[in-house]
Amino acid sequence: MERSWFGWRKAKQGGGGGAGGGGGEREEEDQAKVVVDGSGIRELVEDREAFGMFAETKFRQLDADGDGRLSVRELQPAVADIGASLGLPAQGSSPNADHIYSEAMSEFTHGHGNQEGVSRAEFQGVLSDILLGMAAGLKKDPIVILRIDGEDLRDFVSSPRYEPAVAAIFSQVGSEDAPLRQCLLAAVQQLGVDHGMPPAADPWVVENVVEPALQQLSADELEQPASRDVFFEQLKKLLGSVAEQLQERHVIVAHTENTFDGSGVRRLLGNKFELDKLLDSVWRDVPAEHKKKAPKDKEHLRVALDKMADAASLPPHGAVAQVDAVVDEALKVADAGDGKAVQEGEFKKLLTEVLGAVMLRLSGEPIFISTSTVVHEPLSSSSALLPSLAVASPPSE
């Protein structure tokens, strides 16, 4: 997990490199699992004194010239972190996501550049709204912090699940010409946290867990072609060594799972009051020069759909490629790319039709997203202001 400018994702020091308690976060009975559900963020914002100190600290960090106001340039780190917290690619790397960064900046500057800079009070107000929004998102889609210590991996290797799973993996990575090392590295990358394996593509895991385990195998045999029987035998040895490495050096992993099945869109479309209220809000945000006739092009409609995404349980555009593809197809089906101008009623109708098309596609073909990220936050960077927001300890150094 990358370091967060806001600080609420930072790690808390704990014993033995394992997952620590999460203060204001909901903790499972098993100490190896902590669920981050946003409660700590809400508690911080609702504590006026603590949040005031937090906002003041962040304001001073950003106020490079010390003039008591934040320029657009000084606000960039905050805006960049908002995007990272939403799971968006870095600003400037994806045109489809850049408008979200622009909207975040607009929230701080009130949409008109704010040549005089953003005051402390303005900064604190917008920061409060953004953090509460993130807390709401975590409540709906919590992050699970797992301590991977080798125990689950051993259980997997000795379970009836092992041989069928390895047979399926070999069918994908095995090759008569490929050396055993290559096949084994590809195999461990096929395993996930449900097998007790941390993300094997992570450089830290490769250097500190996988490579030391590979060194326990015969160097000559690793360079030989991998037959099915040799692959099965050597993978079991490798995973046993990996489990030993994990027992000595626990790895902390942030894991999320999401299924986009259209149910959130269906709920929104089925609530006429909420839908009409949201459509009115979206229309109010249409630029003044387009008030009478909003352009019927994909870019404007994507911006409008992003403002409705949370209510429809959809990710922001640019965060999940599979969902982006569904939205793009829905825009085509709704004939939303001709660039013609439309009036308010037609604009709202078009958005409703696009949402309906997205709902039908997702209900027929749900999209399941699972991500696992190693927590690399160093202990020394934990924030003393945020003890209730701590979620876990990083891998032992």
Could you read off the pLDDT of 223-254 as tens digits, one per residue? 988 888 989 999 999 999 999 999 999 998 88
β-pair type (26-27, 251-260): unpaired
Residue 330 has pLDDT above 50, yes or no: yes
Looking at the domain assignment, is residue 54 inside a domain?
A: yes
pLDDT in tens, 174-223: 777 789 999 999 999 999 999 999 999 899 999 999 999 999 999 888 99
Residue 312 has pLDDT above 90, yes or no: yes
Same domain, 316 and 248: no
Banded pLDDT at 12 (limits 50, 70, 90): very low
Domain that includes residue 272, residue range? 261-370
Q: Name the domain boundary from 140, 163, 178.
A: 140
Residue 63 has pLDDT above 50, yes or no: yes
Q: Yes or no: say if 308 and 350 are a contact pair by the CB < 8 Å rule.
A: no
Cα 274 to Cα 269: distance, rounded to the nearest angstrom: 8
Same domain, 118 and 217: no
pLDDT in tens, 332-341: 877 655 556 7
Q: Yes or no: say if 374 and 395 are a contact pair by the CB < 8 Å rule.
A: yes
Same domain, 302 and 272: yes
- What's the CATH number where 77 sits? 1.10.238.10
Looking at the domain assignment, is residue 20 inside a domain?
A: no
Same domain, 338 and 363: yes
Looking at the domain assignment, is residue 119 inside a domain?
A: yes
pLDDT in tens, 291-306: 566 666 677 788 889 8
Same domain, 108 and 177: no
Q: Which residues pair with 70 in a beta bridge?
A: 118
- Looking at residue 87, what is its pLDDT? 59
**Least-confidence region, from 158-162, 302-306, 342-346, 380-384:** 380-384
Query: Pick from 230, 192, 106, 250: which is nearest to 373 by CA?
Result: 192
Looking at the domain assignment, is residue 33 inside a domain?
A: no
Same domain, 323 and 229: no
Looking at the domain assignment, is residue 56 inside a domain?
A: yes
Residue 32 has pLDDT above 50, yes or no: yes
Q: Name the domain boundary from 206, 227, 256.
A: 256
Looking at the domain assignment, is residue 378 inside a domain?
A: no
The count of other CB atoms within 10 Å of the CB of residue 255 is 20
* DSSP annotation string for 214-278: HTTS-HHHHTSB--HHHHHHHHHHHHHHHHHHHHHS-EEEEEEEEEE-SHHHHHHHH-HHHHHHH
Residue 326 has pLDDT above 80, yes or no: yes
Looking at the domain assignment, is residue 388 inside a domain?
A: no
**Contact partners, residue 264, CB within 8 Å, separation at least 6:** 311, 312, 313, 314
Does the predicted TM-score (pTM) go above 0.75?
A: no
For the chain, state the CA radius of gyration. Answer: 24
Same domain, 249 and 216: yes
Looking at the domain assignment, is residue 376 inside a domain?
A: no
- Looking at residue 95, what is its pLDDT? 62
More confident residue, 138 or 269: 269
pLDDT in tens, 280-293: 998 888 776 665 66
Residue 169 has pLDDT above 90, yes or no: yes
Residue 387 has pLDDT above 80, yes or no: no
- Looking at residue 108, what is its pLDDT? 80
Give phi and psi for 43, each to the nearest 5. -60, -40
Mean pLDDT over the full length of the chain: 79
The count of other CB atoms within 10 Å of the CB of residue 249 is 19
More confident residue, 389 or 181: 181
Q: Yes or no: say if 147 and 246 are a contact pair by the CB < 8 Å rule.
A: no
Our count of domains for the chain comes to 3
**Mean pLDDT over residues 370-385, rounded?**
55
**Mean pLDDT over residues 123-149, rounded?**
83
Q: Name the domain boundary from 256, 273, 288.
A: 256
Same domain, 124 and 209: no
